[in-house]
Structure 1
Amino acid sequence: MREERYDISGMHCAACSASVEKVTRRLPGVERSDVNLTTGVMTICYDESQVTPEQIVAKVEKAGFGATLQSDEPAAVPQEAADTAEQELRQKKRELITAAVFSVALLYVSMGQMLPFGLPALPLPDIVSMHTHPVNFALLQLLLAIPVLYCGRHFFTGGFKALFHGNPNMDSLVAIGSACSFAYSVVMTFLISDDPHTYVHNLYYESAAVVLTLVSLGKFLESRNMQKTKGAITALMRLAPDTAILAGSGREIPSKDLKTGDRVLVKPGARIPADGIVTGGESSVNEAMLTGESLPVEKEAGSEVIGGSVNLSGVLYVEVTRTGADSTLSRIIRFVEDAQGKKAPISKTADKVAGVFVPTVITIALVCAIAWALAGQPFSFVLRVFTSVLVIACPCALGLATPTAIMVGTGLGARHGILIRSGEILEITHSVDTVVLDKTGTVTQGEPAVTEITALADSQILLETAAAVESVSAHPLAKAITAYTAEHGVAAPRRPESFETLSGRGLRARLDGREVLAGNQRLLEEGSVDLTPLLEQAHRLAAQGETPMFFALDGQLLGLISVADPVKSTSAEAIRQMKAAGIRTVLLTGDSQAAAQHIGALVGVDEVIAQVLPEEKAGVIQKLQSQGRKVMMVGDGINDAPALTQAEVGCAIGSGSDIAIESADIVLMRDDLQDVPRALRLSAKTLRNIKENLFWAFCYNTIGIPIAAGALYLFGGPLLSPMFAGAAMSLSSVCVVGNALRLGRTKL
């Protein structure tokens, strides 16, 4: 099966996207076809042996829309894409202003002499007065309406094309209503000379024109707001600098021409052009837009840097390790795009309704029109009802309710370093009731560090001796000790004259002619060193999962240094937040039961499951699921991959590594467990926003259609004008998008 993404043009409502889905799903070999109205992207999965991209494009075009296959490469010229969108928006604005000017003039002419509530008529030259020169009055309205219809021509071209192909959409509703009003008015214009007093009152040019203007206004506001919902993607794309400086020659080249192995110079204040490793220089780098981490990160030789981050202070020399589609920035952009392009389950209800909505509305409009005609109402009345029902029922709000909220929600997450793979994951995350936490690298820091020092005599001698002998070892425990001594300003007096690594026990060295033993209880007992003063403490530390290391000089015990993987400072608070939200927390680890229980008690988890092999973790998740629990697995995305896949939601924390981004449903770019409750809150807030949007969209159509059909008129109330119907329809769409944008200002 092959999965591809197509840019779909010409869509304006949920019925449009439903039509594209319907025609493509009918193609042989198509397994899945989902269209996102807000992004204008269709994701289709199909059997290459049964259907080709050309056939897919042809099928979409036959339905009245345009389709273009997306490239696998990330957008290398985001500025050009942004400029194109801006140009389209400016063109819409120009046409809207033109239509508005002519519509206001048309309203002045048509309604100015018929003001309600006893208001005086607005002045109008006698030559175009409806009383003295009715033909001129009608012709002037015709001339004023034509520019408005031209500015709204896409409603007619797209609407009737979709209608003729059997896939009526929002444009079809507007086009039918406006065309009927205009055509009827033209006929009345030709008949005015026969009976001026009757036909002059049956002109509906203002309805035809003003409806188009109001709907265009709604679409313009909608488009402008939709640009804001795409802000996360745009902001990420703008992070990549256009040029890079080659370190050897000082030559400036386009960043897209960089190759792996190139060495670039990054000046203070400049953006790093590609992923790489620092080969020279020291500086602070701001990675906030990529990881959500507000504090600058110190970089030196050997440090990894991410393309798009900002070099704040010193000069850096960087060797490029990843470019183009392989770069962290490109993968993050693709991650967010995928999330915004995939539908949430809740949107399926709206899609099913939208798929039959427009044909149903046309049927309702025809039935209402026939019913009023049979009731003896004049044709002008019938036309007014018919047009109002068509216009007010446009399902824009319904189609925008879910995807706009998902776009804003995933964008909000991206700004906080929380990358969510799909709308489905964003929706189901809120239902999680159990969070399973891997210990190493998730709850703990993932690297050994010195946690306790006990010296029998002089602690300075203990630390200097430890620094000297451990400096020759590459063991992780030795590195932890040397890092601690360096951090605390303890300098090794000199390197040992000789040393011997004793597997599973430690090492023996000669320092200034004296024998040093550094290792576990077994090694020092072999050297006849008396450990009695520290043995009880060593057993206590070992029971907590720590590794106590003894140091002796010429057979005399100097002291003990304990090394462990320390708990992250934010872990306990993150777990407290999850428990406060009613979520059960489980610590899952391969460590001993005693060590796991100690860590579990420190952070306050509800349950500890220890001595579990990596391949057995998925079975633990499965067991919890069999108990009816909705499980989120939080791990490092590498050795926890089976468990991440088995859980309803797999969450990789603190890396943003290749495997994490590929395997997890959610990637937390920061090494902070508190982002897990933030992700849970984001999901709940997004789902609530979707439900609010759907409620108002359904509520609007449920109330609006009967009013437009004349329900109030039956009981002595007013008859809805097509102009007010157009305004109400536009307002509903703007309200839905506005409510989704409100989500973007939420604090997580």
Structure 2
Amino acid sequence: MSQKVSWMSGQILWGSLKDSLLKFDPRYTVKNPVMFILYLCLAVTLLIAAFPAEFSDVAGGSLTRVDYVAISAILFLTMWFSFFSEALAEAQGKAQADSLKKMKTETRARLLKDGTTLEVNSDMLKAGDMIMIQAGDIVPDDGSIEKGAVMLDESMMTGESQLVLRESGGDKSSVLGGTRVASGEAIVKVTADPGETFLDRMIRLVEGAERQKTPNELALTVVLISLTIALLVVVVAIVPLARFYSISVDTGSLITLLVCLMPTTIGGLLPAIGVAGINRVTGINVVAKSGKAVETAGDIDVLILDKTGTLTMGNRYASQFIPAPGKSMDELAAVAMYASAMDDTPEGRSVISFGKKLGYNIDEGRLEGSQAILFTPETRVSGTRMKDGLTYIKGSVDAVGTKCGRIPEPVRLQAENASRGGSTPLAVASDGDIVGLIVLKDLVKPGIKDRLAELRRIGIRTVMCTGDNRLTAAAIARETGVDDYVANAIPEDKLSIIKKEQALGKLVAMTGDGTNDAPALAQADVGLAMNSGTSAAKEAANMVDLDSDPTKLIEVVTIGKQLLITRGALTTFSVTNDVAKYFAILPAILASSIPAISLLNVMGLASPRSAIYSALIFNALAIPLLIPVAINGVKYRPVSASAMLRRNLLVYGAGGLVSSFIGIKLIDIIISGWGII
């Protein structure tokens, strides 16, 4: 999956050759209006070539049966080159799908039902089932760990050989079907029905079964259809005009005029551009659920970033205990560990581990009959209510201060110092009495500042959302280089920020990994969920990064911009090179009847027949010559839109004009000089 599939490999090329021939089915061709008109033109020239006597009144002019056979062959090649470009892009996706299918083997699952363990096939599992996974198992289905912890080998999915931890109680509880359990044991709740696993959807997407035309692609298709219909009307209108003025016009010449002036180049390459865009995103280990998401990524203005697990490593761990004035380290350690005893999150477990590292232990017997005080975004505290009535809590300094009446000034100052350093202070209290602070440390991901600076250069504003207080948020913002930040944020805040930006006409993208990010990921124009995150986040987002690297959005944005630029560049090329074809074919059609029109033969083409062949051959060859551009995309550079427009007009506008004049003239020299015509 992580290996880029080359479109130049022999297997892909051979498969594309075979698949392209299947696309000549009229039921498929009608989906591409430009190619369908070309298909009808091919049918007409074939009929005239096969039955010249019956169609002599229709054909007219000086073109022979051999000419119509040759024109038919060139039209066939034009269509085939178009179908080949799309088949080539699709074959690349199928090769990626085949590598995914190798993971989706028939595996057995340990189904927990009615207090017993049953061995069943993985395809019998459904959402809501509880299964057990152990070291050496292939995870049979997508799910969320309800109890326990495992180390997973996801290299077959991401190409990354490093094992990853998945455990209950946090935002890293999600597991994917097809990955391998390296160590540990866990009970998993299945979250997908048969055929709807993450892997199933990935396979369908890269195979193209779920690809739909994007809004931009649909709009361009409408423009191409309108242009083609207008040209068709103009060409058909030539017939009665020619008869009225007693001008002899070949049907083959009219067909050549229509085919060469139609936007056949972009019409033929348009499907390949869209398919290749999806393939490029998949090639960087990002699964886009639709082509629209990739295209929209090229236009985003604002990126909302969740701090924990996105800008930072995600697992905050206890790094320091700071007793309140008059409290001992022994008392603080005991209260902190009891408050965390029933907190089955990485953060809670780190408090216990840190306390033991300092040499402290708690009486496990005291926990019998106690109740957990669960953390919520509203209360922002968690803890343990002991069976003897004592209550131990930990949480944000403000939230604990509200519950306890006030925070001692020395404790508040210590908390502010920790926040300024980028750490997260948690206040600890025993029955309303503040006993001190737990300082949590969360490391900023390496290289994140440079990646965000790159986003800024391409015009994307970054906003960090975090539940931390303003001091901690400001410290992390300085360290990461985000443009703006929102502190003390709850899930509703992220959602409101996105809606506010969208109300201003901005396109907004967001990365996240937690269940609390799901509403915002769903609201965002582009939602990129981390593979390490929860199932809810991945369901809500329209993209999932298998490498769990939030800065991957930079590559996604680049590919989205590439997709839009490539489509525009090849459209420009297709339109401008029609100018040379006009100067080649119109004199060829009318020069014998209207000698003055020969002045338009600025290229000095040898004869009307040579002009027709040269224009048709160049029109056909333009498609395969541009296939590498359609597949690989036009290189994106982080410059202004006006500079980009000037560059593309120069390279693909002027280039299309000049190359068509040169190409048609060279072909004319070859076929006339060698006596082919």
TM-score with structure 2 setting the length: 0.65
Does 1:663 find its partner at 2:540? yes
DSSP 3-state at the match of 1:345: helix
Q: Is contact 1:394–1:729 with CA below 8 Å preserved after alignment?
A: no
For 1:677, which of 527, 549, 554 is the aligned residue? 554
CA distance in 2, matches of 1:595, 1:635: 19
Aligned-partner Cα distance in 2 for 1:218–1:728: 12
Contact 1:587 1:609 in 2 (8 A): yes
Map of 2:458 onto structure 1: 581
Q: Is the 8 A contact 1:591 1:611 kept in 2?
A: yes
Corresponding residue for 2:605? 717
Distance 1:153 1:331 in 2: 28
Residue aligning to 1:294? 160
Does 1:437 pair with 2:305?
yes
Which 5+ residue runs of structure 1 have no aligned equivalent?
Answer: 1-82, 96-151, 189-197, 510-516, 525-530
Matched, 1:226 2:104: no
Aligned residue for 1:710, secondary structure, equals helix
TM-fit CA distance, 1:354: 1.9
- Contact map agreement 2:106 2:121 (CA 8 A) in 1: yes
**Residues 304-356 of structure 1, C-alpha deviations (whole Å, 9 max, x = no match):** 531234x3967999968234233122344566658731313254134232245
Residue identity matched to 2:425: T
Q: 2: distance between equivalents of 1:372 and 1:402?
A: 38
Q: Which amino acid aligns with 1:562?
A: V
Give the counterpart letter for 2:142 in structure 1: D
Distance 1:335 1:623 in 2: 32
1:440-463 CA-partner distances (Å, limit 9, x unpaired): 44334555312446799xx99999
Identity of aligned residues (%): 19
What is the CA distance between 1:584 and its match in structure 2? 2.4
The one of 603, 623, 628 equivalent to 1:733 is 623
Please say if residues 34 and 224 of structure 2, whose CA atoms lie closer than 8 Å, have aligned partners that are also in contact.
Answer: no
> Distance in 2 between the 1:154 and 1:474 partners?
62
> Match of 2:351?
481
Is the alpha carbon distance of 1:466 and 1:210 closer, same or farther for their aligned partners in structure 2, counting shifts above 3 Å? same
Match among 269, 274, 277 for residue 141 of structure 2: 274
| Distance change in 2, residues 1:745/1:317 (3 Å) | farther
Residue of structure 1 in register with 2:46 after alignment: 178
Matches within 5 A, 1:90-129: 90=18
Query: CA 1:706 to 1:351, structure 2 compared with 1: closer, same or farther past 3 Å?
Result: farther
Distance 1:221 1:433 in 2: 36
Distance in structure 2 (CA, Å) of the matches to 1:698 and 1:564: 58
Letter in 2 for 1:228: A
Contact kept? 2:334, 2:362, Cα under 8 Å: no
Indicate whether 1:238 and 2:104 are aligned.
no
2: CA distance, partners of 1:638 / 1:319? 17
Partner SS, residue 431 of structure 1: coil
C-alpha contact (below 8 Å) 2:423/2:439 kept by paired residues: no
CA distance in 2, matches of 1:463, 1:185: 104
Task: State the alpha-carbon separation in 2 of the partners of residues 651 and 301 from structure 1.
Answer: 22
SS of the aligned residue for 1:717 comes to coil
Which of 570, 580, 597 is matched with 2:474 structurally?
Answer: 597
> Is it true that 1:708 corresponds to 2:585 in the alignment?
yes
Considering only aligned residues, what root-mean-square deviation do their CA atoms show, in Å? 5.6
2:154–2:164 CA contact under 8 A, matched in 1: no
The aligned runs of 1:448-597 (5 Å cut-off) are 448-452=316-320, 472-474=341-343, 476=345, 477-484=347-354, 495=363, 498=366, 536-541=413-418, 546-548=424-426, 561-569=438-446, 571-597=448-474
Q: Take 2:153 and 2:70, find their aligned partners in 1: how far apart are those partners?
A: 59
- 3-state SS of 1:326 partner: coil
Question: Is contact 2:465–2:486 with CA below 8 Å preserved after alignment?
Answer: yes
Match of 2:177 among 281, 299, 307: 307
Whether the aligned pair in 2 keeps the contact of 1:408 and 1:744 (CA below 8 Å) is no
Other structure's SS at 2:178 match: coil
What's the offset of the Cα at 1:90? 3.7
C-alpha deviation, 1:181, in angstroms? 3.8
Equivalent position of 2:219 in the other structure: 348
Which of 400, 411, 434 is 2:279 aligned to? Answer: 411
Contact 2:343 2:382 in 1 (8 A): no
CA contact (8 A) 1:158 1:171 kept: no
Change (3 A) 1:247 1:560: closer
> Aligned partners of 1:539 and 1:592: how far apart in 2?
9
Q: After superposition, where does 1:7-22 map in structure 2 within 5 Å?
A: none
2:318–2:350: 8 Å Cα contact kept in structure 1? yes
Contact in 1 for aligned 2:16/2:84 (Cα 8 Å): no
Q: Against the structure 1 CA distance between its residues 729 and 235, is the aligned structure 2 distance closer, same or farther, given a 3 Å change threshold?
A: farther
How far off its partner does 1:542 sit? 5.5
Give distance in 1, aligned partners of 2:199 and 2:159: 15
> Aligned to 1:367, which of 202, 217, 238?
238
Shift in Å, 1:692: 2.0
Alpha-carbon displacement from aligned partner over 1:75-134 (angstroms, at most 9, x marks no partner): xxxxxxxx9x998954877x9xxxxxxxxxxxxxxxxxxxxxxxxxxxxxxxxxxxxxxx
Residue 574 of structure 1: CA displacement? 3.4
The equivalent residue for 2:67 is 204
CA contact (8 A) 1:463 1:490 kept: no
Question: How many pairs were matched up?
Answer: 571
Task: Give the superposition deviation at 1:620.
Answer: 3.4
The offset of 1:647, in angstroms, is 4.6
Secondary structure of the corresponding residue to residue 563 of structure 1: strand
| Structure-1 separation of matches of 2:622 and 2:233 | 20
Are the counterparts in 2 of residues 700 and 732 from structure 1 also a CA contact under 8 Å?
no
Q: Describe the SS at the equivalent of 1:709.
A: helix
Q: 1:427 aligns with which of 291, 295, 315?
A: 295
Report the CA distance shift for 1:444/1:656 in structure 2 as closer, same or farther (over 3 A): closer
Deviates more, 1:459-468 or 1:198-207: 459-468
Q: Secondary structure at the match of 1:598?
A: helix
Distance in structure 2 (CA, Å) of the matches to 1:350 and 1:625: 27
Offset, 1:598:
2.6
The residue identity in structure 2 corresponding to 1:221 is F
Task: Describe the SS at the equivalent of 1:241.
Answer: coil
Q: Aligned partners of 1:733 and 1:265: how far apart in 2?
A: 52
Q: 1:603 to 1:323 in 2, by over 3 A?
A: same
Residues 572 and 676 of structure 1, relative CA distance in 2, 3 Å threshold: same
Which residue is 2:672 aligned to?
Answer: none
Larger Rg: 1
Please report the TM-score for the alignment, with normalisation by the length of structure 1: 0.60
Aligned match for 2:492, one of 615, 623, 646:
615
**Cα 1:577/1:696, change in 2 over 3 Å:** same
1:55 matched residue in structure 2? none
Q: Counterpart of 1:364 in structure 2: which amino acid? A: V
- Residue 743 of structure 1 is aligned with which of 633, 647, 652? 633
Q: Which runs of 5+ in 2 are unaligned?
A: 1-10, 112-116, 374-380, 387-391, 402-407, 592-597, 639-677
Contact 2:452 2:482 in 1 (8 A): yes
Cα deviations by residue, 1:359-387 (Å, 9 ceiling, x for unpaired): 7337426627964995765x7xx244234
Query: SS at 2:97's partner residue?
Result: helix
Question: Deviation digits for residues 483-505 of structure 1, max 9, x if unmatched?
Answer: 4568xx77766745646899879
Q: 1:475 to 1:318 in 2, by over 3 A?
A: closer
Q: 710-719 vs 675-684, which deviates more?
A: 710-719
Give 2:238's aligned amino acid: V
| 8 Å CA contact 1:240, 1:273 repeated in 2 | no
Post-superposition offset of 1:168: 6.0
Find the counterpart in structure 1 of residue 594 from structure 2: none
Contact 2:110 2:119 in 1 (8 A): no
- Cα offset, 1:408, TM superposition: 1.6
Map of 1:69 onto structure 2: none
Could you say if the C-alpha distance between residues 230 and 363 of structure 1 is closer, same or farther in structure 2, counting changes exceeding 3 Å? farther
